[in-house]
Chains A and B, each alone.
Chain A
């Protein structure tokens, strides 16, 4: 199974500042047949189901604010919130969908400093 490891486990950022979350996979999730990284990011607020933010490592889901961006390839990926807003307080998960089983990172909790 592909193991997804996120860092840090939690971070606190001032409003308007940048938040950066890292995700490392135990093997590459780049699929050469479609030239894409099979990596997604989700946001989960308390009491709610996860919400898809980013897929193919860097494609923003419709309706997601452009302060959210994803980057990386192969085994190393990053989710960046360019200017943290109060409504961004949540837990963020990376997920690989390269193959069965799908696996998630352990989550990164983002708070306001």
Chain B
């Protein structure tokens, strides 16, 4: 079945870096743009970043632009999120998510991972 599994979360000090991974299975990963979405404790959903199927297009939320980098390795069916200069406000559960079609990455998100928790604290 279609599955996304995030990993790499943890507790990190402000200003440090962390890299999240999202392992995909059950679908042709290389055909789909992929997203990261986060949710701070007790808060709503915040879209973070998207990368096109081939890596040629990337977009970021203003809140992470210049600090986070989305990337992918289609040979490993894996999506990444490199997070630098982390701040307390980056504390959240980070989800990777797949759009329901491959014709565009601006489509509703029909498959979500279970999320990985990032805590930024001294």
Tell me the A residues contacting B by CB distance below 8 Å: 1, 38, 40, 42, 44, 48-52, 55, 61, 91, 93, 95, 97-107
User: Which residue, A52, A106, A107, has most C-beta atoms of chain B within 10 A?
Assistant: A52
Q: B44 touches which one: A38, A49, A93 (CB < 8 A)?
A: A93
B73 at the interface (CB under 8 A from A): no
Q: A93 touches which one: B45, B50, B59, B115 (CB < 8 A)?
A: B45
Q: How big is the B interface, by class?
A: 20 to 34
Separation of A46 and B101 alpha carbons in the complex (Å): 27
In the assembled complex, how far is the CB of residue B79 from the closest CB belonging to chain A, in whole angstroms?
A: 15
Q: Residues of B contacting A103 with CB < 8 Å?
A: 47
In the assembled complex, how far is the CB of residue A44 from the closest CB belonging to chain B, in whole angstroms?
A: 8
Proximity bits, B91-116, A CB within 8 Å = 1, else 0:
00001010010000011111011110
B72 at the interface (CB under 8 A from A): no
In the assembled complex, how far is the CB of residue A66 from the closest CB belonging to chain B, in whole angstroms?
A: 18
Given contacts A55-B100, A93-B45, contact A102 B114 (CB under 8 A): no
